[in-house]
């Protein structure tokens, strides 16, 4: 009995360790997202950048990420989830070091595109990998490890930015140090098992049983039952093609995945993450170090509220947190816009910082983790790699559009108008979540596919005039 208990405890610990190591891909994502906010303040002066060039430096990563996610979509079912995560770590190291030694804005943009390729691969594959190794009852929390790592990466980036903000060409250190977590992730991934669902898709059921035995608390019968369920949910022995994304049940899921991918970005989260110090300076805090220090508070709130989300996702459910969080996002954006109506000063700065904290808190319990979670769990197994990558590519494409257009949008609409525009999109997001997003809490990946199949069947019956 004691041996069985010890084995179960070991397996439970292994699944958490597996999710945490894979989730380091999120830390890379977050570090680069956050570090450019502080680095940009000195890069602009060193290279005499205009607003469009600054947007290109910021937007180079999401451009690369679109292509990285596309690459992941074509290789995820051939190479496996684990190998692609390892590849992304190696490419990130190259891009980070290239950014650090860039001699001009052109080389810097190229190096950041390379970083984007790595982040695109990692962000497309890592949530899928974690969702495929996680038990249903804790899958939401484990996939949220990815988003938690994103927020920790942003916080670490703000700390590094603060440390090097007064150093000559400190931005080189800021960007180059991104290679460190990439190296840690590469070493950690070497000890991870491959996804048991991917192994089943390759016909390696024995390998799937071995992988599950290291990360499941149940005995051999439970593992055999899970392998049988996975096989039952696999329509074909071979991975699906892009054409299979047109199947009705997959299209129904893609409406949710791609819809949330777009809305997560155009509600303005990366205007805050990329440009937080810039926004705070515009609100009346002139010092670079003070602006980054204020951004640090935003980063701390982001981490803390993601921890809250990690504990709530498998209790409160996805839909409830979406409604609460998106409502808070819209309110904070309207408040942030109002802060810029008067003259800049202490009051404006305080309202702006509090609004940013409320916005990030609301995002951290809703669209932040839930998009990545749903995008990893709602698709059928035989097309999951391609469908999840399609959602990720869409997310990064709109990340690029928002990051490139934020400063010109302020020039067009003023600060108040820009933030109110994002707030209105938040209201549209509330309607979308009510209309299309199902509750997936506590369901196995195969049961979630059945939910979308029932939606398609109900729609077909209504179209045929049947009750």
317: left (phi over 0), alpha (psi -120 to 50) or beta: left
- Position 236 scores a pLDDT of 44
CATH class of 7-192+235-463: mainly alpha
CA–CA distance, 256 with 292 (Å, rounded to integer)? 35
Q: Could you tell me the pTM of the whole model?
A: 0.73
- Position 463 scores a pLDDT of 72
- Position 115 scores a pLDDT of 92
Cβ(182)–Cβ(96) below 8 Å: yes
Residue 36 has pLDDT above 90, yes or no: no
pLDDT tens-digit map of 234-264: 644 445 667 778 888 889 999 999 999 999 9
The domain locations on the chain are: 7-192+235-463
Give the DSSP letter of residue 382: G
Which has the closest alpha carbon to 397: 97, 46, 70?
A: 70
pLDDT range class, residue 187, cuts 50, 70, 90:
confident
Contacts with 34 (C-beta within 8 Å, 6 or more apart), sequence order:
153, 154, 155, 156, 157, 158, 161, 273, 299
Range among 39-43, 158-162, 231-235, 323-327 rated most confident: 323-327
- Position 97 scores a pLDDT of 93
Residue 323 has pLDDT above 90, yes or no: yes
Residue whose structure tokens are 């669902």: 197
Q: Can you spell out the DSSP letters for 102-163?
A: --SHHHHHHHHHHHHHHHHHHHHHHHHHHHHHS-GGGHHHHHHHHHHHHHHHHHHHHHHHHH
CA–CA distance, 203 with 206 (Å, rounded to integer)? 9
Tokens of 58: 């910021």
Q: How far is CA 214 from CA 124, 347, 372, in A?
A: 24, 55, 25
Contacts with 41 (C-beta within 8 Å, 6 or more apart), sequence order:
165, 277, 278, 288, 291, 292
pLDDT tens-digit map of 191-209: 777 877 778 877 777 887 8
Which has the closest alpha carbon to 40: 174, 144, 146, 132?
A: 174
Main-chain phi, psi angles of 464, to 5 degrees: -85, -5
CB neighbour class for 67 (10 Å; exposed up to 12, middle 13-18, buried from 19): middle
Of residues 186 and 272, which shows the higher confidence score?
186
Percentage of residues in the chain with pLDDT exceeding 70?
Answer: 87
pLDDT tens-digit map of 403-457: 778 778 888 888 889 889 999 999 999 999 999 999 888 888 778 888 888 888 8
CA–CA distance, 456 with 467 (Å, rounded to integer)? 14
CA–CA distance, 109 with 113 (Å, rounded to integer)? 6
Which has the closest alpha carbon to 128: 388, 353, 314?
A: 388
Residue whose structure tokens are 């790592």: 149
Q: Stretch 394-404: mean pLDDT, rounded?
A: 83
- Position 260 scores a pLDDT of 95
pLDDT tens-digit map of 96-137: 999 988 888 889 889 999 999 998 888 888 887 887 777 777
CA–CA distance, 2 with 329 (Å, rounded to integer)? 49
Tokens of 137: 């009852």
Kindly provide the b/e burial profile for residues 443-467, where b requires at least 16 CB atoms within 10 angstroms of the residue's own CB: bbbbebbebbeebbeeeeeeeeeee
The H-assigned helical ranges of 23-50 are: 24-47
Helix axes 51-79, 81-100, angle to 10 degrees: 150
Residue 186 has pLDDT above 90, yes or no: no
- Give the torsion through C-alpha atoms of 362, 338, 434, 308, to 10 deg: 10
Cβ(310)–Cβ(461) below 8 Å: no
Average pLDDT, the chain: 80
Main-chain phi, psi angles of 215, to 5 degrees: -130, 15
Cβ(367)–Cβ(426) below 8 Å: no
Least confident of 47-61, 266-280, 281-295, 432-446: 281-295
Q: Stretch 309-331: mean pLDDT, rounded?
A: 89
Least confident of 10-14, 212-216, 461-465: 10-14
CA–CA distance, 372 with 396 (Å, rounded to integer)? 12
Q: How far is CA 166 from CA 40, 41, 46, 231, in A?
A: 13, 11, 13, 57
Query: ∠ CA(51), CA(57), CA(59), 5° rounding?
Result: 95
Cβ(165)–Cβ(292) below 8 Å: yes
Q: Stretch 280-301: mean pLDDT, rounded?
A: 66
Residue 305 has pLDDT above 80, yes or no: yes
Residue 284 has pLDDT above 80, yes or no: no
Least confident of 75-84, 179-188, 434-443: 75-84
Cα end-to-end distance, the chain, whole Å: 54
Which has the closest alpha carbon to 167: 177, 155, 180?
A: 177
- Position 257 scores a pLDDT of 94
Q: What's the gap between Cα 39 and its chain centre?
A: 22
């Amino acid at each position: 009995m004691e041996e069985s208990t010890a084995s179960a405890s070991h397996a439970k610990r292994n699944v958490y360790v597996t999710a945490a190591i894979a989730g380091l891909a999120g830390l890379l994502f977050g570090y680069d997202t956050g570090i450019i906010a502080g680095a940009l303040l000195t890069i602009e002066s060193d290279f005499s950048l205009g607003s469009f060039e600054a947007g290109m430096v910021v937007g180079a990563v999401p451009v690369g990420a679109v292509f990285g996610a596309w690459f992941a979509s074509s290789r995820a079912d051939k190479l496996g989830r684990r190998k692609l995560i390892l590849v992304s770590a190696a490419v990130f190291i190259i891009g980070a070091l290239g950014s650090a030694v860039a001699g001009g804005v052109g080389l810097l943009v190229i190096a950041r595109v390379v970083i984007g390729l790595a982040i695109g691969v990692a962000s497309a594959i890592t949530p899928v990998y974690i969702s495929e190794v996680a038990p249903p009852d804790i899958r939401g929390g484990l996939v949220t490890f990815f988003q938690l790592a994103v927020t920790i990466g942003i916080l670490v980036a703000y700390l590094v930015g603060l440390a090097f903000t007064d150093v000559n060409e400190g931005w080189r250190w800021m960007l180059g140090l991104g290679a460190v977590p990439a190296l840690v992730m590469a070493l950690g991934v070497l000890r991870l098992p491959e996804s048991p669902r991917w192994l089943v898709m390759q016909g390696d059921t024995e390998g799937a049983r071995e992988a599950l035995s290291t990360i499941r608390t149940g005995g051999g019968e439970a593992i055999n039952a899970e392998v049988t369920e996975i096989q039952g949910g696999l329509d074909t022995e071979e991975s699906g093609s892009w054409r299979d994304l047109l199947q009705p049940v997959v299209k129904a899921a893609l409406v949710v995945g791609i819809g949330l991918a777009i809305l997560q970005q155009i509600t303005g989260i990366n205007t805050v993450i990329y440009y937080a110090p810039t926004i705070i300076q515009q609100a009346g805090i002139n010092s670079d170090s003070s602006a980054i220090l204020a951004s640090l508070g935003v980063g701390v709130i982001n981490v803390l509220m993601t921890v809250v989300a990690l504990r709530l996702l498998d209790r409160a459910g996805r839909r409830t947190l979406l409604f609460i969080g998106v409502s808070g996002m819209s309110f904070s954006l309207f408040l942030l816009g109002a802060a810029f109506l008067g003259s800049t000063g202490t009051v404006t700065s305080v309202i702006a910082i509090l609004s940013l904290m409320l916005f990030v808190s609301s995002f951290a319990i809703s669209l932040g983790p839930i998009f990545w979670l749903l995008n990893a769990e709602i698709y059928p197994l035989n097309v999951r790699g391609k469908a999840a990558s399609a959602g990720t590519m869409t997310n990064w494409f709109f990340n690029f559009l928002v990051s490139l257009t934020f400063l010109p949008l302020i020039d067009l609409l003023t600060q108040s108008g820009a933030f109110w525009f994002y707030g209105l999109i938040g209201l549209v997001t509330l309607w979308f979540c009510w209309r299309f997003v199902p509750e997936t809490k506590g369901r196995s990946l195969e049961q979630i596919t059945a939910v979308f199949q029932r939606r398609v069947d109900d729609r077909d019956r209504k179209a045929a005039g049947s009750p």
